[in-house]
Amino acid sequence: MPEYINCSSCSEEITEDSDYCPHCGIIFRETENSVCERHAPRQASGVCIICHKVMCPECCVKRQNKVFCSEHAEIEVQQDWALVYQSTEISESELIKSILESSGHKVLGQNFNSIGFVWDGGGDSPISRSNINKPAKVFVPIPEYFEAISAIEEWKSGQSPL
């Protein structure tokens, strides 16, 4: 059984023999593989938590104490979840959520029902939702990010055939 320790950067639990932290992307151990993909042989200091690209400090984009590559720096993450879809139309987000669930993904929804006061007497109106400007967000576990995105793309292309 591997021993568990806490990451010195994000305090998440990781196995003691980890070369890097999968939660925040910090590299702990310099190995022959930990050279920057763009600037080899420069030593790498981090791994993109989305695509696992190995990068030197110059290439790492740090946000929320996590490491991203420049390509994935804009992706919204919460803990170990990545945002794959958001819409102020809750029904749209719900649809995407069920599509992902039916293709086997773990899905987390946010702001799907956090607007109780709007419903009082007002009924279900898209306008009231966009007014309060809180999109319903759909998250998947970070390791499932690319699969989930392509599942959504696939669904979208089926929706509007050329």
For Zn ion, which residue of 18, 35, 39, 95 counts as binding (CB under 5 A)? 39
Sites for Zn ion among residues 15-34 (CB under 5 A): 21, 23-24
Choose the binding region for Zn ion from 3-11, 27-35, 92-100, 117-125 (rule: CB under 5 A): 3-11
Q: What is the DSSP letter of 89?
A: -
137's tokens: 């967000």
d(CA 137, CA 94): 9
| Shortest distance, position 43 Cβ to Zn ion, whole Å | 10
Q: Is 128 helix (H, G, I), strand (E, B) or coil?
A: helix
105 is an interface residue for Zn ion by CB under 5 A: no
CA 89, CA 86: separation in Å to the nearest integer?
A: 9
CB-facing half-sphere around the CA of 143: CA atoms within 13 A: 3
Closer residue to Zn ion in complex, CB, 53/105: 53
59 binds Zn ion per the rule CB under 5 A: yes
CB of 116 to Zn ion, least distance (A): 36
Q: Does 62 interact with Zn ion (rule: CB under 5 A)?
A: no
Residue 99 is a binding residue for Zn ion (CB under 5 A): no
Residue 155 is given by DSSP the state H
| CA 142 to chain centroid | 5
With CA atoms as reference, report the closest residue to 153 among 107, 78, 99. Answer: 99
* Shortest spacing between CB 49 and Zn ion, in angstroms: 8
> How many residues contact Zn ion, by CB under 5 A?
18
60 binds Zn ion (CB under 5 A): no
* 1 C-beta neighbours (distance < 10 Å), count: 4
Two tokens at 114? 């956090």
137 contributes a contact to Zn ion by CB under 5 A: no
Residues interacting with Zn ion, by CB under 5 A? 7, 9-10, 21, 23-24, 36, 38-39, 48, 50-51, 53, 56, 58-59, 69, 72
